[in-house]
Amino acid sequence: MLGYAEIASHFRQQITDGELNPGEAMPSYTDAAEQFGLNRTTIVRAYDILKSEGLIVAYPGRGTVVAARPSVVITGADRVDRLSRTGRQYGPGEDSTGHRVMRRSVHDSEVCRALEIEPGDEVVIRIRTFRQDGKPTSVGVSVYPSRTTAEVPELNAEGQMNGYFGDIYTERTGRDVTKGQRTAHARQASPEELDALQVDSPAHLAVAVLVASVTFHDEEGPLAYWEDVYAPGLRIPTA
């Protein structure tokens, strides 16, 4: 039998996938209990979790609705999962802007280690800013070594990618792409990141941001390194 945590997870995914939209009514406690064959208390506990996460709001006389601006912002890797489930690249009210593509020699030790390349090797770097209802939420950075761009040359083109690079790579090579362990750490934001996130801060003050990273692999080694740099004050799921 499902527990309250599983019910919360079910509705959380529907909200983040856009199957339940901001302002849309949630099922009543009674209807949800009948839908899942559970008692009302279990549904109440599940909804309480979603309320604490800022995903739903209860209004006297109106019932419970999806929050106008969900406070939880997902990662780029989670967007891949959502694209696979729903075929939609963006959630409700979400878009991206400032798409840039650069070919650079990389010297960042973390990126070199993740991609198993030497300092100075050339990579393709793709950068964009994700927004929720027009407000910047995160800067997405993806780095691709030459063996990936050789199979997916679309990564070299300016503008937004149409779909997930891993699906294109698998179709052309027959090799599955797997997502590694996502990790997160805090660091000082760069001036460019603060500008993209529209954070107004005096130049002499350091602003801490949360950075989530993940590496994608096939059977022969690393294919991509992704980072999400989040605006201060956001809530990001870690599971």
Residues in the chain, pLDDT under 50: none
Q: Which residues of 210-219 are buried (b: 16+ CB within 10 A; e: fewer)?
A: bbbbbbbbbe
CA distances from 231 to 20, 56, 130, 199 (A): 25, 22, 10, 8
pLDDT of residue 158: 93
Degrees to nearest 5, angle at CA 12 with 83 and 216:
40
pLDDT of residue 71: 55
pLDDT of residue 133: 85
Q: Under DSSP, is residue 143 helix (H, G, I), strand (E, B) or coil? A: strand
C-alpha to C-alpha distance for 71 and 86, rounded to whole angstroms: 21
CA distances from 203 to 129, 137, 192 (A): 21, 21, 12
Extract the tokens encoding 84.
Answer: 């696979």
Domains of the chain: 4-66 (1.10.10.10), 76-230 (3.40.1410.10)
DSSP 8-class letter at 55: S
pTM: 0.80
pLDDT of residue 65: 94
